[in-house]
Amino acid sequence: MNGLEDVCHRFAERTALISQGLSISYASLLTLVDLRALLFDELQARRVACQQDNGLEWVVNNLAALFTGITAVPVPHFFSAAQRDHVLVDSGADVYIGAECPGTAWHFSGHPDIWQRRDDLEVRIPRGTALVTYTSGTTGRPKGVCLSSETLLNTAQSVVSVLSPLGIERHMCVLPLSLLLENVAGLLANLLNGGSTVLEPLADVGISGSSGLDLGRFLAAQNDTRPHSLILVPQLLLALTTAAELDLALPDSYRFVAVGGARVAPDLLARARAAGIPAYEGYGLTECGSVVSLNVPGADRPGSVGRPLPHVTLACRNDEIVVSRPVHLGYAGQSGCVPVKVETGDLGTLDENGFLHVWGRRKHHYISAYGRNISPEWIESELTAELAIGQAAVFGDGQPVNVAVLVARMHADADAVRDAVARCNARLPDYARISAWQLVDPGDFSDAGCLTDNGRVRRSWVAEQFAGTLDDLFTSQGARLQPPDVSNDAPSKEYS
C-alpha cells in the first residue's frame, strides 16, 4: 500500500476524513495508522477481523493491517452471530475487533474492543492475500474471497482515472465499509484522489441493518454534508429519486452517483437523471476486486454497465462474461492454483463501442414455452423500481406465462401493488410481462428464509417455500406445471 502512504505525505494538510464532528488530515490519518500498526505488532497479529460501524476506527484498523502486510478481514455489521463465527474460523483470524467477545475461543487483549484467539488455528490462505472479503450470497455460510493489495489499488486507481474530469473532492459513504464496493471504489479511491471522505455511523445517515432506511435522516445527512459523490444500491437510488420527484430538498452538489449491487432498471436511471441526480450504472464482482466496468459522463450508454475500466481484461465467450484480469487469489481454506480467469456466470455482450451489456445469470435464465429467452433479474429490476414493490421473484421456465411472488414496500396495499405491476408491464415486451402474482407478507417471506442477511432474494428458497403458490399461479393462467430451474451457485456478483 505504498501508493496510499505517498498520497498521505503529498496531501498531508488536506482533510482526509470527516467523522462525527472531527476533520482528520492525511498526516494525522497516517500517524493514527502507524500507531495502530505498532499495536498489531505488539499483539503479533497475522489476520485481523474487524466488525465495526462506519467511522474513523474502521478506517484506521483496516489501513493498519494493509500497510503492514497483515491480512484484513472485514466482517459486515449485518452478519448474524453464526455468520460472524464462520468468518472468524474460515479466515483463521487471530485478532477480532468488535464490541463483544465472539466466544470462549477468544480472550480480552487488554485494549478496548480487541480480542485474541486463545488457540493457534491454522487456516490456509493464498500467499499475498491482503484482504479476505465475505459476502452473504445465497447461503448462510459466506465464502472468503482472497484479494491482493495490487488488485485493490489497481481497481481504486482505475476508478480515480475515469472520474478525474469530474473534480470530485468529497465522497460520502452510505454503504457499509465492510462491503468491498464502498471500501475500494468509495473510500480507497477517494483517498488516492486526495479527497475528503465523510464517514458517519450508518444510523446517522438513515441506514439500519442490511436494508432499512430512514428517508428523513438519509436526506438530512446529505443536505448537511453536500457530497460530490455517492455509491448507492438500486433501492437507495429509488428512494432518492422519489424524494426528488416529491420536491423534497436534495443537495445540488452531486457530480457522480454510482449505482449497483443489483441490476438497475433503465426507467429508474432515466427518472433519476430527470430529477437532477447524475446516476450511472456499473458492474463488478468480488472475485475481480469489485468494479469491472462503469458508465461515466462522456462515456455513457444507458442500458449498458459501461466500458471496462483501464486495468480490466474481459471477453464475452458463448454469451458468458469472462474476466482474465484482475482475478482473485483463491478462497480462504481452499487449496489449489491461483485462478487465471473468472467465469462470471453472467450473460452479456460487448457492443461495437466497447460497452458491456449484462442480461442476467446463466443459471437463472430460462426459456418460455414460446421459445423466448428470459432473464428474471431483468423483470425483477423493473418490478422493484416501483415504490410499492420491495422484493420480487419471477418464474416461468418452460411456461407460456411469467408469474411472480411479490413483497410490498412501506405497507403498500394490494391496489398499489396491482397498479405498480401494470406500470411495469407497460414498459416490458409482451413475452416478459407478469400474468399473475401473489402478494406475500414481508414477515412470512423473511421467516421462510427467502432473504439473505443483506436483503437479497434467495430464488431457490422462494421456489421451495412457495411451491404451492407458484402452482396455483400457473394453473390460474392455464399453464402446465413443472419445477422451475432455480440453481444459485455463482461467483459473488456485484453491480457497482
Q: In tens digits, what is the pLDDT along the chain, a chain of 496 residues?
A: 667 889 999 999 999 999 999 999 999 999 999 999 999 999 999 999 999 999 999 999 999 999 999 999 999 887 878 889 999 999 999 999 999 999 999 999 999 999 999 988 889 999 999 999 997 654 457 789 999 999 999 999 999 999 999 999 999 999 999 999 999 999 999 999 999 999 999 999 999 876 788 999 999 999 999 999 999 988 899 999 999 999 999 999 999 999 987 788 899 999 999 999 999 999 999 999 999 999 999 999 999 999 999 999 999 999 999 999 999 999 998 877 889 999 999 999 999 999 999 988 888 888 887 778 888 999 999 999 999 999 999 999 888 899 999 999 978 999 999 999 999 999 998 889 999 999 999 999 988 989 876 678 888 899 999 999 999 999 988 765 444 444 434 455 544 3
The single-letter code of the amino acid at 151 is: T
**Nearest CA among 433, 444, 490, 452 for reference residue 469:** 444
d(CA 256, CA 229): 5
In this structure, is the dihedral angle defined by the CA atoms of residues 311, 285, 181 and 27, taken in order, positive or negative? negative
Q: Are 381 and 339 in contact (CB under 8 A)?
A: no
Instruction: Supply the pLDDT for residue 479.
Output: 60
**Nearest CA among 411, 355, 326, 332 for reference residue 151:** 326
**Nearest CA among 384, 366, 383 for reference residue 375:** 366
User: Can you read off the three cell numbers belonging to residue 184?
Assistant: 475500494
First to last CA, the chain: 23
Q: Which domains does the chain have, with CATH numbers?
A: 2-10+23-144 (3.40.50.980), 150-361 (3.40.50.12780), 366-477 (3.30.300.30)
Instruction: Supply the pLDDT for residue 262.
Output: 79
Instruction: Supply the pLDDT for residue 231.
Output: 97
Instruction: Supply the pLDDT for residue 81.
Output: 87
Instruction: Supply the pLDDT for residue 496.
Output: 38
Instruction: Supply the pLDDT for residue 237.
Output: 95
What are the CA-CA distances from residue 451 to residues 155, 259, 454 (Å)? 30, 21, 8
Instruction: Supply the pLDDT for residue 360.
Output: 84
Could you give the strand order of the β-sheet that contains 342-350, starting from the edge strand earlier in sequence?
313-317, 320-325, 342-350, 356-361
Instruction: Supply the pLDDT for residue 454.
Output: 61
Instruction: Supply the pLDDT for residue 59.
Output: 98
Instruction: Supply the pLDDT for residue 210.
Output: 67
Instruction: Supply the pLDDT for residue 481.
Output: 47
d(CA 217, CA 491): 34
d(CA 383, CA 424): 6
Q: Are 268 and 244 in contact (CB under 8 A)?
A: no
